[in-house]
Every structure is written in structure tokens, then in C-alpha cells.
Structure 1
Amino acid sequence: MSPRFAAPRFSGLTVGGPASTTGGGVGLGITPTGALAMVDGDASVRQAILLLLSTRPGERLMRPTYGSHLHRLIFAPNDQTTAGLAIHYVREAIERWEPRVQILAIDANADPDVPERLTVELRYLIRSSLATETVHYPLDLDPAMGGHAPTSPHRGPAGHPDLATDPDPESPQDHDTASGGTPDVPAGP
């Protein structure tokens, strides 16, 4: 085989070392033959969950609904409403896309050390091995929010776009008063 088609050797990677079992941890593992090391078993489930939670619906080819809606919370304040929505989005994604696990508990709390971080904790049972695992998924919110709800006419209570009364803020039915348009006002008596 010509060197052009040989497996590349990367500096800084551990050759022959195990693959990362943390799901976002130390890097790639390389087998002695130069191939990428694969994870399996419980570590595979953990990585699949982390991938699911960090994928936006529409990003994956041939599976446009795969993923979670956690990305919708990026500009939300770090409060109990956001935590509740995060729990809902995690439960919805896991129940739909990860049949290998049974959800035991989901919790979301503000990180006391990083005010703009919401940490989602997922405890689950792996059905095949009956092992109980926990995943901590940090969700970094916009630090410019400062814990306050934005003032936007297209956001619902507490500034959450998912609770807005207008389902599509970009729809042509919006009234643009800034460009000289006038909102519909009922005629007086």
C-alpha cells in the first residue's frame, strides 16, 4: 500500500490508548494499526446521549427530526422556567431517540460558579446491562442576558421564545410599525 493511503499518524494522540469514554473528554484513541478506536457498551450509550443533546433538529442528514431543542434556550435567562424547558427538551429527545435507556430522573440547575450556565443532570438505566449512569450536560446561556428577560414583542413570558403567542415571529402577518405601517386597531363606537 502506498504511503498516500496509509492511516495518518497524528502527533499528540495516544497510539494504542483507549477511546474517550467521557463523551467529550480527552480526545481520540488510536489503535496500534492507526485506526480510530471505537467505544462500545455503556460508553457508547453515553456518547450517543451527548451527541443527541448537542444536535439541533435538521442538522443530521436523512433524519431531520433527530436532536434536541436545547439550542432554543441559548438566549433565555437562567431561571426556573428555562430549567423546566431544558428538562422537557431532554426528556422529549431521549424518549424519542434513545430506546436503549430508561430515564430515572432529570434535573436542571444554575451552576453556582458560572452564573450563565445551566447544568442538566440526567440519570438513566441502560436496559441491556441494567447499569445506572448519570450524564451532566452543561448548557451555556448568553452572558449578556444577566439573568433578565429580554424585551421583545415576539417572546413569551419571561422572555422564552417557546412560550410566545406568535408561533412564527418571521411570518408576514406581523405588523411593522417601525417602517411606517400601522397595527390593526378596531374602529371606535
Structure 2
Amino acid sequence: MGEEFVGAGWAFPLRVDPTGKVALVAGTHEIEESIRLILMTAPGERPMRPEFGCAIHDYVFAPADASTAGDIAYAVRIAINRWEPRIDLGDVVVRFDAVDRGVLYVELQYAVRGTNDPRNLVFPFYVIPPHEEPTP
């Protein structure tokens, strides 16, 4: 299995290359863009493909705690296993960086099928921290 298995596709966000044609990405860059696209798309967002995407958007208003981290990791695992058949997903780890600002990092460890090339991708995810009323 080589590059023909991975394929090529339109670059995201959609743009043109220096020759004025639609920019394409290929190989592992195409897979990385595909993973990001899956994670950035909420189910129901695409009218012609309503099941496509990842349910992490359900957790935007959830507290930044271990329970939410587990739920996010599970949602990511389900979506990537369903929508990206070119990779073998290893581990999904949700790290807390700046919880007070609502920043979580979702780290995916994967390998392109048919290769022994381990890869990882870190996707920032933002929750909206609860607003605390000032005490008088």
C-alpha cells in the first residue's frame, strides 16, 4: 500500500495554488486535513451528509474536568474510526492546558494503514468556562 491508497484531495480551507487551480493536498497532509475536518464538523452541519462529523461540539459548555475529557476522547474515537478508514487509531488523550481559559488539547496517535509510520495530531478544543458572578 502506498500513496495511491492515501490519495489526494482538495486543500482545506478551499484555496487556489499559484497556477490558479484548486489547491490539492496529498499523502499524510491529506489525512491530517481530513482528521481536522472531521473534528471541526458538528453532526448535522452538512445537509447532504447529516451524520458526518464529531460530537465534541456537544461539550463546548461542559466543565473542563476529567469526565468531560473522557467524553471528548470517546466522541473523537467514534468519529475517527467511522470517517477515516485510512488510519489505525491508537490512543486519544485529552490534556488540560489553560483550563481557566477553557483550552483542552486532544492528541490523536495513529498510523497510516499499511505502514509502520506512527504519527500524532494535536487538536485544540475550547470549552466556555462558567461565568462567575463577583461577590459583593
**Band the TM-score falls in, shorter-chain normalisation:** 0.7 to 0.9
- Tell me the residue number matched to 1:131: 117
State TM-score, norm by structure 1.
0.58
Q: Which runs of 5+ in 1 are unaligned?
A: 1-20, 147-189
Comparing 44-53 with 104-113, which one deviates more in the overlay? 104-113
Pair 1:91-2:77 in alignment? yes
Of Structure 1 and Structure 2, which has the larger fraction of its residues in strand? Answer: 2
Q: Deviations over 1:51-103 (max 9, x none)?
A: 00110111123221110000000001110001000100000001111100101
Equivalent-residue separation in structure 1 for 2:99 and 2:67 (angstroms): 20
Cα distance change, pair 85–113 in 1 and its aligned pair in 2 (3 A): closer
Indicate which of 3, 13, 25 corresponds to 1:39. 25
CA shift digits 1:135-157 (9 cap, x unpaired): 111111103357xxxxxxxxxxx
Distance 1:28 1:58 in 2: 24
Q: Which residues in structure 2 correspond to 1:58-73 (within 5 Å)? A: 58-73=44-59
Report how many aligned residue pairs link the two structures. 122
Unaligned runs of 5+ in 2: 1-10
Task: Indicate the RMSD between aligned Cα atoms, in angstroms.
Answer: 2.3
Give the counterpart of 1:49 among 35, 38, 41.
35
CA 1:46–1:77: 2 relative to 1, 3 Å: same
CA contact (8 A) 2:64 2:129 kept: no
**What is the aligned partner in structure 1 of residue 68 from structure 2?**
82
Higher relative contact order (CA 8 A, sep 6+): 2
| Higher relative helix content | 2
CA distance in 2, matches of 1:72, 1:91: 15
Instruction: Quote how far apart the aligned CAs of 1:114 are.
Output: 5.8
Paired with 1:53 and 1:128, the residues of 2 have a C-alpha distance of 24
Q: TM-score, normalised by structure 2?
A: 0.79
* Same amino acid, percent of matched pairs: 35
Asked whether the 8 Å contact 1:122–1:136 carries over to 2, the reply is yes
Cα gap change, 1:71 to 1:113, in 2 (>3 Å): closer
The answer as to whether partners of 1:76 and 1:145 remain within 8 angstroms in 2 is no
User: Does 2:17 align with 1:30?
Assistant: yes
Distance change >3 Å, CA 145–CA 81, structure 1 → 2: farther
- Identify if the C-alpha distance between structure 1 residues 84 and 43 changes in structure 2 by more than 3 Å, giving closer, same or farther: same
| SS state at 1:59 partner | coil
Secondary structure at 1:30 match in 2:
coil
Q: What is the distance in 2 between the residues matched to 1:114 and 1:29?
A: 39
